[in-house]
Amino acid sequence: MHEQNPAAAPPAAAGSSTAVADDVAAGAEEAPAEPPITDRGTHNRRPAPGLRLPRLPRHPRLPHLPLAAITTSRPTRTTAAIAAAWLFAIAAHAAHLDLATLLLIVLGTAALNRYGSTVLDRVVAAVVLLAGCGVVGGLVISYWPWGLEPVAVGGSALSTLVLVASATRRRFRLPMRFAAADGIALLSGGAAVLIAAWPTLRGDFWKRFDYSALLGDRLRQFAMFDAVRSGHSYAFAHFDRISAQALPGTRSYPSGMQMVYAIVDCFVHGDATPGAPLDEFVRYYWYTLISFGLLVLITAWAARRMAGPTVGDRLRLPSVFITAGVGAFLATGYFLSYVWQGFDSVVFASVFLVAGMAVILRPPRNIWEQALFAGSAFVAVAFGHPLLIPHITFVLVAALVVYRHRLLKRRSKRLLFLLIGVAGIAVLVVTPLLAVSGLSIGTRFHTDGFIIALPWHVVLTAAAAAAIALANPATRRLPHAKAALGALAATGGTQIALQFYLAHHSSTRYYVEKSLNGLVLMCLVGLGGLATLWPAPRTRPAARKRTKLWWPIRQAETAIAAVTAVLAAGAVAFAPPYINWPRFQPGTDTTWAQLWTSGRTFIADYGHQLRAQDRAGVYTDGRPTIVASSAYGVLNLNMSLLAGIANRNLHSVSGQINRTTDLYGLTNLPAKGEWSPQSKASLKILEHIITSNKVPVRIVVADKVLAAKLEDFAAQHPRTKVEILFVR
C-alpha cells in the first residue's frame, strides 16, 4: 500500500484553492455533503500487513431495456408539459382565477432555481428573476399582437419555465427547510403592509383617497401606469395609443415599475383592459403597499443572508434579533413615510437593490444563475429608479472583484467569461442610457420637490454599525462580507462627493435624499454581519453535538429575541402621537407608524369633494377639467390630476395643471368688499388658464362668488367656450 504525499500535489490544485473557497462560500448551504456510508463489519477494519481483503461483489445489474420501455422521450414530455401549461392558463382564465396562474409562475420559478437552502431563499430569488424578466419581457409584450391578455402572458411564462427545465434537466422542487429568521422576516413584511394600509381599511370609497392620493407624486406615477396598462406597451413603443392621457415626459421616463405592475394587474384584474380608472387606481395603490411590505421583508431577509454561508443553531438567536430589528425599523420608522409621500418607483427599485445585494454577493453555485440574478436585479433597479444605478453598479463591481477566481478558475472558459464580462460592462453602460433617455441626471439632482429628510444621526449610526458588522475579524474573512464592505465604501464615497458638490451648486435635496436613503438600506443589509460576533461556546467538539432544545423552549427563545429587537429598534410608541412640525419628525416616544395609523396627521381631507364631483359627472363625461374647489393649492392639483386620469384626457390640460398648485384662498370669498392679495392672484391664474389653454376647459369651483366672477370673465371672452361648474 502506498500513501499519497500531500506536498506532492500538482501546482494547479494549489492555485485553485481560492476558487474552491469562493465556491464553498457561494453555495455551501445549498447542497450539504452526505456523510459517507460505511459498513461496521469486517470490511471496515484495517488489514494486517501483507494481507489483502477480498473484494465485495457488485450489485447485479438490471437487464438492459430500451428507453422507450421505461419512459417517454424528453421532447414528448416537454411538449406535453407545454400543452398542460396552456390548458391551465386557459382554464384559470375561464374560471376567473388568473391569479392562480401568477401564483404558479412564481412557485414554478422558485422551484426551478437553486438559490439558497430555504423556501424563502428560493421565492425571493424567483421574485428578482421575474421582475427583471418582466421589465425585459415588456418589450416583447409591447410588440406582439396579444398585448396584456392574461392567457397569452401566463401561457408564455409557464411554457418558458417548462423549456428551461427541459434544457437544464432540472426538476421542479422546493426545499423543505425554513429558518426561524425567515419567519420573522415574513411577519415583518406582513406587519408593514397592514400598517401602511391601516388608514384605508375603513371608510367609504372616496374617503380612502384622503390617504391613497395624498400627494401628486403618486398620481403622476399612476398616470404613467395607466398609460402602460391601457396601451399594452411601453410609452415609447406606441405613444400614439396613449398620447391623449399622457403627461409630458411619459415617453422618456423609465417605466419598468409600471410594466411589472401592469403584468401583475392583468392577472389580478383578469382582463386585458384595465377597467374604470379610479378602480384601477385602487388596485395600483395596493401594489404599492405590497411593494413596501416586500421592501421590509426582503431587507430583513437580506440581512439574515449576510450572516454567513451557514446559519446554524449557534447563530439562530442573533440572526433572529437582527432580522426582527431591521424589519421593525423599516415597518414603523422613517421609510414608512415613503408610502404617503408617493415615492412608488423608489420603493420598487429599493426592493431589488437590497435583494440584488443579497443574491449577487451570496451567489448560487451555478455561474450562469449568478449572472442571471445579477442581470435581473440590475435591470429592475435601472428601469425602476435610475438614481439608484450607482448603488447596484458598485455591488456588481465588488462581486466581480471578489469572485474573480471563481469566474476564471478554468482556462478553457476564460475566453468565454471574458466575452461575458465585456458584454456585462456594455450592459452597465447602455442600460442607464436607455433608462434615462431624455432625462439628465445632473439636472435631476437640481430638481426641487417635497421630501422628508432622514435624520443624520440615523444615517451615521447605520453606517457605523454596518462597518463594524462587515469589518470585524469574524466576518471579513467571508468573501461576501469583503464585497459588501467594498460596495458600501464606494457608494458612501460617491454620496459624500455628491453632498460636497451640491453644497456649493444647489440648494435642493430632493433626489439627493433618495440616493442617501438607498445607501442606508444597503447598510441595514450589512448589519447581518453582526451575527458573527455572537460568542461561540468553548466546549469540546463532542459536547457541541448536543441534542436540540425542546421545541417550546426554542420558540420562546426566538420570541424573546424578536421582541427585544423590536423594542431596541424603537418600533413601539409609549406616548400619544405627536409630530414636531418645524423639524417634520415624530416627537419623543412617537413613531411614524403611530402618526400614520392615527389617521389625523397626514390626510388630504377632500373625499367629500371628490364624491360631489363624481355625482356631477366630472369623472365620467370626458371633458378637460381644472379643479379650484379647495383653499389649498396641493389639493387643487390632486383633484385636477384625478379628473384628468379618470377621463383619460390628462394631456389636454398638461400645460396648465401644474399652475393649480398656486391656487390658494378660493373658498369663503366675500361677496362685497376687498379680496385678499392671495385670492386675487389665484383669480388671475384661473383667468390665464381659461384664455391660454389649447382646448375648451371646465373649471370646477366650490364658491358661488368665485363662480360668478369666472362666468363674467367667460362672457367677456366667448371664444374660450369655458364651462364654470359649481359643486359644493
From CA 513, how far away is CA 367, in angstroms rounded?
35
7-21, 49-63, 192-206, 684-698: segment of lowest average pLDDT: 7-21
| pLDDT at residue 368 greater than cutoff 90 | no
Grid coordinates belonging to 291: 411593494
Name the phi and psi angles at 649, rounded to 5.
-135, 35
Which residues face 625 on adjacent strands?
698
At residue 381, the pLDDT reads: 94
At residue 32, the pLDDT reads: 43
Rounded average pLDDT over 615-636: 93
Contact 634, 215 (CB under 8 A): yes
Residue that wins the pLDDT comparison between 190 and 58: 190
* 198: confidence class by pLDDT, cuts 50, 70, 90: very high
At residue 228, the pLDDT reads: 95
At residue 250, the pLDDT reads: 85
* SS3 annotation, 421-448: HHHHHHHHHHHHHHHCCCCCHHHHCCCC
From CA 369, how far away is CA 36, in angstroms rounded?
29
From CA 331, how far away is CA 195, in angstroms rounded?
8
Q: 563-573: per-residue pLDDT in tens?
A: 999 999 999 98
| pLDDT at residue 22 greater than cutoff 60 | no
Which secondary-structure segment (H or E) carries 725? strand 723-726
Which residues face 726 on adjacent strands?
701
At residue 535, the pLDDT reads: 74
Query: For 217, how many CA atoms within 13 A lie in the half-sphere containing its CB?
Result: 16
pLDDT > 70: what percent of the chain? 81
Number of other residues whose CB lies within 10 A of the CB of residue 64:
5
186: closest CA among 121, 125, 132? 121
Contact 257, 235 (CB under 8 A): no
Rounded average pLDDT over 644-655: 91
Handedness of CA 651, 653, 654, 657 (dihedral sign): negative
Contact 629, 700 (CB under 8 A): yes
Range of 155-169, 440-454, 711-725 with top mean pLDDT? 155-169
Contact 640, 660 (CB under 8 A): yes
641: closest CA among 629, 653, 631, 623? 653
Query: For 249, how many CA atoms within 13 A lie in the half-sphere containing its CB?
Result: 11
- Tell how many helices (H) and how many strands (E) occur in the chain: 31, 5
Q: What angle do CA 559, 330, 119 make, to 5 degrees?
A: 60
At residue 413, the pLDDT reads: 56
Give residue 284's Cα distance to chain centre.
14
Q: 234-249: per-residue pLDDT in tens?
A: 988 888 888 888 888 8
| pLDDT at residue 490 greater than cutoff 50 | yes
Grid coordinates belonging to 699: 373649471
Contact 657, 626 (CB under 8 A): yes
Q: State the first-to-last Cα distance of the chain, in angstroms, to the nearest integer.
A: 101
Rounded average pLDDT over 67-96: 86
From CA 393, how far away is CA 356, in angstroms rounded?
10
At residue 187, the pLDDT reads: 96
Q: 406-437: per-residue pLDDT in tens?
A: 766 655 555 555 556 556 655 554 554 454 44
DSSP string, 38-61: ---SGGGSPPPTT--PPPPPPPPP
Q: 262-304: per-residue pLDDT in tens?
A: 999 999 999 999 999 999 999 999 999 999 999 999 999 999 9
The residue type of 708 is A
Q: 529-549: per-residue pLDDT in tens?
A: 998 888 765 555 544 454 456
DSSP string, 572-640: S--S---EETTTTEE-TT--HHHHHHTSSSS----HHHHHHHHHTTTTTS---EEEE-SSSHHHHHHHH
Rounded average pLDDT over 46-58: 54
Grid coordinates belonging to 567: 423594542
296: closest CA among 325, 321, 319? 325
The residue type of 308 is G
Grid coordinates belonging to 14: 494549489
* 580: confidence class by pLDDT, cuts 50, 70, 90: confident
Q: 660-697: per-residue pLDDT in tens?
A: 999 999 999 998 888 999 999 999 999 999 998 888 89
197: closest CA among 283, 277, 289, 304? 289
Tell me the Cα Rg of the chain.
30
Residue that wins the pLDDT comparison between 508 and 491: 491
Rounded average pLDDT over 332-337: 94
Residue that wins the pLDDT comparison between 93 and 449: 93
Q: Residue 653 carries which DSSP code?
A: G
Rounded average pLDDT over 434-446: 51
Contact 699, 724 (CB under 8 A): yes
The residue type of 198 is W
**Helical axes 277-305 vs 256-269, angle rounded to 10°:** 110
User: pTM value?
Assistant: 0.86
From CA 190, how far away is CA 662, in angstroms rounded?
39
Grid coordinates belonging to 12: 494547479
List of residues 6+ apart from 675 with CB closer than 8 A: 665, 669, 683
Q: 34-51: per-residue pLDDT in tens?
A: 344 344 444 444 555 555
| pLDDT at residue 639 greater than cutoff 90 | yes
At residue 699, the pLDDT reads: 95
DSSP reduced 3-state for 70: helix
